[in-house]
Chains A and B, each alone.
Chain A
Amino acid sequence: ILNVEQSPQSLHVQEGDSTNFTCSFPSSNFYALHWYRWETAKSPEALFVMTLNGDEKKKGRISATLNTKEGYSYLYIKGSQPEDSATYLCAGGGSQGNLIFGKGTKLSVKP
Chain B
Amino acid sequence: DTEVTQTPKHLVMGMTNKKSLKCEQHMGHRAMYWYKQKAKKPPELMFVYSYEKLSINESVPSRFSPECPNSSLLNLHLHALQPEDSALYLCASSDRGNQPQHFGDGTRLSIL
Residues of chain B with a CB closer than 8 A to A103's CB: 41-42
Query: Within 8 Å of chain A (Cβ to Cβ): is B105?
Result: yes
> Is B42 a contact partner of A95 (Cβ separation < 8 A)?
no
Judge if B56 is at the interface, Cβ distance under 8 Å.
yes
Confirm or deny: A18 has a beta carbon within 8 angstroms of a beta carbon on chain B.
Answer: no
The chain A residue sitting closest to B30, CB to CB, is A97
B96 within 8 A of A: yes
Q: How many residues of B contact A (CB 8 A)?
A: 26
Q: Given A42-B105, A43-B104, are A104 and B97 neighbors across the interface (CB < 8 Å)?
A: no
B104 touches A97 (CB 8 A): no
Instruction: Report the separation of the CA atoms of residues A99 and B8 in the bound assembly, to the nearest whole angstrom.
Output: 24
Q: Is A32 an interface residue (CB 8 A)?
A: yes
Q: How far is the CA of A51 from the CA of B96 in the complex (A)?
A: 13
Tell me the smallest distance from the CB of A90 to a CB of chain B, in Å. 10
Size band of the interface chain A makes with B: 20 to 34
In the complex formed, the residue of A with least CB distance to B2 is A43
List, in ascending order, chain B residues with CB within 8 A of A38's CB: 42
**A49:B48 contact, CB within 8 angstroms:** no
Q: Bound state CA distance, A100 and B43, in angstroms?
A: 8
Q: Is B16's CB within 8 Å of the partner chain A? A: no
B102: Cβ under 8 A from any A Cβ? yes
Chain B residues positioned under 8 Å from A101 (CB to CB): 42-44
Q: Across chains A and B, which 5 residue pairs bring their CB atoms closest together, nearest first?
A: A46-B100, A101-B42, A43-B103, A97-B97, A32-B98
